[in-house]
Amino acid sequence: MASVVRLYVEHPLGAGQTVPLERAQAHYLFNVMRLGEGAELRLFNGRDGEWAARVTGAAKRGGTLQCTGQTAQQRDPPDLWLLFAPIKKARTDFIVEKAAELGAARILPVQTDHTNAERLRRDRLQAHAMEAAEQCGGTFVPEVADLAPLSQILRGWPEGRRLLVCDEARAGEGERLDAFLGRRAVEAPGPWAVLVGPEGGFSEAERARLAGLPFAVTVSLGPRILRADTAAVAALTLWQIALGDWR
């Protein structure tokens, strides 16, 4: 049996609600997925849960859908941010996709002293996050923020949010993330963030600054140095198991 097509829309969803399609959405549904009038699919908008819908109008440049019934309540992720230094394009895409699948609430690309990328297409990364949510059955799409200097983000850090710094220089020594989180598994999750450094690691100045922040703790991800994309997936997974919605 073929899987049901899921589509993220901005439009409100509700019983009997008509949903107009943008040109790109119409192309995807009618030309790529080969749906026609009367076809069934699922819709979500990040607010109203998931809804079954039927194609009521199909055209080359647009179309309409109609909600027929709610299939899932809204499921928001825990209040967890991922901060990461962009790397090569395909691996940056991978980080964003996996962060959306693993339940990050916000994704923040950061410019560190050793970050190679100087600019990103935020709209393209946001589209990757949306597509990941469509594929994994989620009802929430995390915001992908614009690339910003790590120092700027730390200056404006919100009160009460804690920061886990995953530093490759601590591989095989220091406190491991799984042990740190294991001691806090009984805590209320609260707002957290995970920071994964660039391929070249954090600079000594950055390490010194991060070590002096009262809301930050630096941890190891184990005995081996992980690639940046692997480290992001590992850190998010361990946090979700200990404090998130995998418990």
14 domain residue, yes or no: yes
Three-state DSSP class for 136?
Answer: helix
Tokens of 82: 């991922």
**Radius of gyration, alpha carbons of the chain:** 20
More confident residue, 38 or 200: 38
Claim to verify: residue 85 and residue 67 sit in the same structural domain: no
Query: What count of other Cβ atoms lies within 10 Å of the Cβ of residue 115?
Result: 20
Q: Write the single-letter amino acid at 164.
A: L
| CA gap 125, 86 in Å, rounded | 11
* CB neighbour burial string for 181-203, b if at least 16 within 10 angstroms, e if fewer: beeeeeeebeebbbbbbbbebbe
Query: Does residue 2 register a pLDDT over 70?
Result: no
Of 14, 46, 72, which marks where a domain is finished?
72
CA 187 to each of CA 42, 56, 184, 243: distance values in angstroms, whole numbers, following the listed order: 36, 48, 5, 7
In the prediction, which pLDDT does 40 show?
96
Three-state DSSP class for 177?
Answer: helix
Nearest alpha carbon to residue 107 among 135, 128, 90: 128
Per-residue pLDDT reduced to its tens digit, 45-87: 999 999 999 999 998 889 999 999 999 999 999 999 999 999 8
Provide the number of structural domains found in the chain.
2
Claim to verify: residue 136 and residue 204 sit in the same structural domain: yes
E strand or H helix that includes residue 88: none
In the prediction, which pLDDT does 1 show?
43
Claim to verify: residue 144 and residue 238 sit in the same structural domain: yes
| CA gap 22, 7 in Å, rounded | 12
Q: Which residue has the tokens 């699948």?
A: 101
Per-range mean pLDDT, top range of 112-116, 199-203, 222-226, 237-241: 237-241
Tokens of 156: 């404006």
Q: Write the single-letter amino acid at 92.
A: T
Phi, psi of 117 (to 5 degrees): -75, 135
Claim to verify: residue 62 and residue 86 sit in the same structural domain: no
Claim to verify: residue 53 and residue 139 sit in the same structural domain: no
Domain encompassing residue 62: 6-72
- Residue 44, strand partner residues: 8, 50
Tokens of 165: 């710094």
Claim to verify: residue 27 and residue 49 sit in the same structural domain: yes
pLDDT band at 226 (very low <50, low <70, confident <90, very high): confident
Per-residue pLDDT reduced to its tens digit, 139-188: 999 999 999 999 999 999 999 999 999 987 777 676 777 778 877 766 76
Tokens of 134: 């469509």
Asked if 45 and 12 count as a contact pair (C-beta separation under 8 A), the reply is yes
Per-residue pLDDT reduced to its tens digit, 86-144: 988 999 999 999 999 999 999 999 999 988 776 789 999 999 999 999 999 999 999 99
In the prediction, which pLDDT does 174 show?
67
* CATH number of the domain that residue 101 is part of: 3.40.1280.10
